[in-house]
Amino acid sequence: MKLETPNLDNPFYQPAGNEVDVFEQAWKNRLPLLIKGPTGCGKTRFVAHMAARLGLPLYTVACHDDLTAADLVGRHLIGDGKTVWCDGPLTRSVREGGICYLDEVVEARKDTTVVLHPLADDRRILPIDRTGELLQAPPSFMLVVSYNPGYQNLLKGMKPSTRQRFVSLRFDFPAPAQEEAILIGETACAPDLARRLVGIAGALRALKDRDLEEAASTRLLIYAALLIKEGMDPVAACRSAIVESLTDDVETVEALMEVVAATFGR
C-alpha cells in the first residue's frame, strides 16, 4: 500500500478540459469523485495536483486483490506488551480532513469497497466497529477513486450501487499539442523531441486492441524524454522506455521499433 503525505509543492499538470473545475466543485459541494481512464494518462498526477492546489493532505492507496477493509480503516496492533489501535489511510484522511485516493479501485474486493458507502453519500460518516467510533467527515474531506475501464470484466467491475454514489470524470490521452506541452513541462526537453515522441505514441496507439493490450502512455513518453535528455541514443531510449514496456512478444517489439526508427531517421 502506497501512502502519500501532504506535499505543498504543486506537481505540474496540463489541463485537458474542465477537470480542474469539476474537481473543485465536487470538493466544495462535498461530493465524491470517480476518475476513469487508461493507464498512464495522468489520473494520479491530477489528484496530486489538486490536493496541492487545495492545500489538503493526500493519502493514496494502490488497490489490489488482497486489500481488506482493515487495510483501509485500521486495526489493533500489539507492541510493548499492549494493544494499540492504528488508523488506516481512509481513517486518517477523514480525521485530518484530507483527500483519500483509491487508485484502481476495481482491483479491490467488493466486500472491501462497501466500507466506502457511508462516506460516499450524504451521511459522510465512517463507522469503526473495532473502536466503537463513528467519525463524521469534516467539510474538507474528499473521497476520490479511479480505475481503467479497459480492465473491466464480469469479475472486476464497480458495482452500480457504488459507482452511482460518485461524480465521474473521463480521462483520455491528451491531444498532440497538449501532450507535447506536458512533455516539455515535465522534462524541459526540446519541442522537436516532444513532437517526435508524441508522433510515435500516436502511431502505437493506433495499434491498440489489435496488437497491444495497452496503449503507449504519456508516462512512458516522459521516461523516454528523460533518457534522451541524459544523452541516450533516441532509438535505444524509446525501445527501453516505451516499446519493451508494451509487449513481451519479440516480433511485435521489432514491428514497433520500425515506427521508432522511421521517426528518428534510421
Summarised one tens digit per residue, pLDDT across range 148-194 is 887 654 456 677 888 889 999 999 999 999 999 999 999 999 999 99
Mean pLDDT of 59-73: 93
Task: List Cβ<8 Å contacts ≥24 apart for 254-262.
Answer: 255/211, 256/204, 256/207, 259/200, 259/203, 259/204, 260/200, 260/234, 260/235, 261/235
Provide mean pLDDT across the span 9-34: 93
pLDDT > 90 fraction of the chain, expressed in percent and rounded: 70
Is 60 exceeded by the pLDDT of residue 218?
A: yes
**Looking at residue 92, what is its pLDDT?**
97
Residues 6+ apart with CB under 8 A from 194: 179, 180, 181, 183, 184, 225
- Picking from 147, 170, 193, the residue at the C-terminal end of a domain is 170
pLDDT of residue 4: 43
The mean of the pLDDT values for the chain is 90
Please compute the mean of the pLDDT values over residues 6-22 and round it to a whole number: 81
User: Residue 36 is inside which H or E element, if any?
Assistant: strand 33-36
Statement to judge: residues 114 and 230 lie in one domain: no
Say how many domains are in the chain: 2
Q: Can you give the pLDDT at residue 1?
A: 44
Looking at 170, 204, 221, the residue that finishes a domain is: 170
Instruction: Using alpha carbons, select from 231, 160, 158, 150 the residue that is nearest to residue 189.
Output: 231
* Chosen domain end from 170, 202, 221: 170
- Among 112, 109, 92, 105, which residue's Cα sits nearest to residue 166? 105
- Whether residue 4 lies inside any domain: the answer is no
Residue 145 forms part of a structural domain = yes
pLDDT digits (tens, 9 = 90+) for 121-158: 999 999 998 899 999 999 999 999 999 887 654 456 67
Q: Residue 257 pLDDT more than 80?
A: yes
CA distance 146 to 60: 11
The CA angle 149-177-36, to the nearest 5 degrees, is: 15
Euclidean distance between CA atoms 40 and 173, whole angstroms = 8
9, part of any domain? no
Same domain for 90 and 196, yes or no, is: no
3-class DSSP state for residue 266? Answer: coil
Pair (49, 155) in one structural domain: yes
Q: pTM score, two decimals?
A: 0.85
User: Mean pLDDT throughout 246-261?
Assistant: 93
- Sign for the pseudo-dihedral over CA of 213, 214, 220, 221: positive
Give the model's pLDDT for residue 234.
Answer: 96
- Per-residue confidence at 236, pLDDT binned at 50, 70, 90? very high
**pLDDT on residue 208:** 64
**211 plus 159 within the same structural domain:** no
Supply the pLDDT for residue 7: 43
H or E segment at 90?
A: helix 89-96
Claim to verify: residue 123 and residue 60 sit in the same structural domain: yes
CATH number at residue 125: 3.40.50.300
pLDDT confidence of residue 8: 45
| pLDDT (0 to 100) of residue 6 | 40
pLDDT, mean of residues 195-210: 87
Mean pLDDT of 233-253: 95
Domain identity same for 85 and 152: yes
The verdict on residue 48 lying in a domain is yes
Q: Is residue 245 part of a domain?
A: yes
* Greater pLDDT, 213 or 206: 206
> Are 145 and 70 contained in the same domain?
yes
Q: Domain check: are 130 and 246 in the same one?
A: no
Q: Which domain holds residue 24?
A: 19-170
Same domain, 122 and 229: no
Q: What integer pLDDT is reported at residue 152 of this predicted model?
A: 55
